[in-house]
Amino acid sequence: MKLNKLSIGSAILGLALASTAALAQVTPQVPATTPAAPAAPAAPKLPSSPVKIDLAQRLVAMQSGSLDGLSRNLVETPARQMLSAAEPLIVRVPAEKREAAAKQIQADARKYVDETYPIVRKRAGELSNTQLQTAIEEKFTEDELRQIVAFLESPANKKLQQTLPEVSNALAQKLVADTRPSVEPRIKALEASIAKQLGMTPNAAAPASGPAGSGLKPAAPKPAAPKPSGSASKP
């Protein structure tokens, strides 16, 4: 994730998309007898200028990478959620059809992403050239835009972006190593608890008949009790 491209473009555009989705799903229930609250005064729009417009356009142009990531995340998130939900249910498919069904589910998910991403990305680009640029011009002064653009285009910022992945990766590796003794026992305890509720036993490697990556397998059937002999054995 690049700070120089995500910090402004994704924040503004993502907020706009999230707000639109929220408004589309939620309808406030206001009693008819309740008087409408007075609308808050709108924040004054900062004046524009040819120089400010140019700076805003340059800033928007820097957001191409963040728009790629934002669009792909919006498209892939529901697909990932559905794949995750389908994973433990694959055991319901007959064993001889299970592998084919899993491959078809993956293929359908890829097809959805391949067909939907260009639609969302195209619209994100259109919004960035209208809504995003307008928001930037209204919320930042010309001097603020000069400072932002100067930093984003500076050698110091380029060096920062080159260094951050390496530093972040080192931090992640150290964090995993330091917390493993505390985390792994809790993971195993959770796995054992889930296995008990499902009538399964924990297993280091998940078999083909169990949910992929779950580390669980069906519990072994209990041996049948010996049937009583019809007649006592003679000495």
Per-residue pLDDT reduced to its tens digit, 80-102: 999 998 888 888 899 999 999 99
pLDDT: is 200 or 156 the higher one? Answer: 156
Q: What is the pLDDT of residue 217?
A: 53
Instruction: Please tell me whether residue 218 adopts helix, strand or coil conformation.
Output: strand
Instruction: State residue 41's pLDDT score.
Output: 61
pLDDT in tens, 153-164: 999 999 998 998
User: Taking all residues of the chain, what is their mean pLDDT, rounded to a whole number?
Assistant: 76
pTM beyond 0.85, yes or no: no
> C-alpha distances in angstroms, 73 versus 6, 76, 79, 172, 195?
13, 5, 10, 22, 32
* Residue-wise pLDDT tens digits, 20-60: 443 334 334 444 455 566 665 656 677 778 888 899 889 88
| Residue 198 CA, distance from chain mean position | 28
**Which pLDDT score is estimated for 176?**
92
CA geometry: angle 184, 187, 189, nearest 5 deg: 110
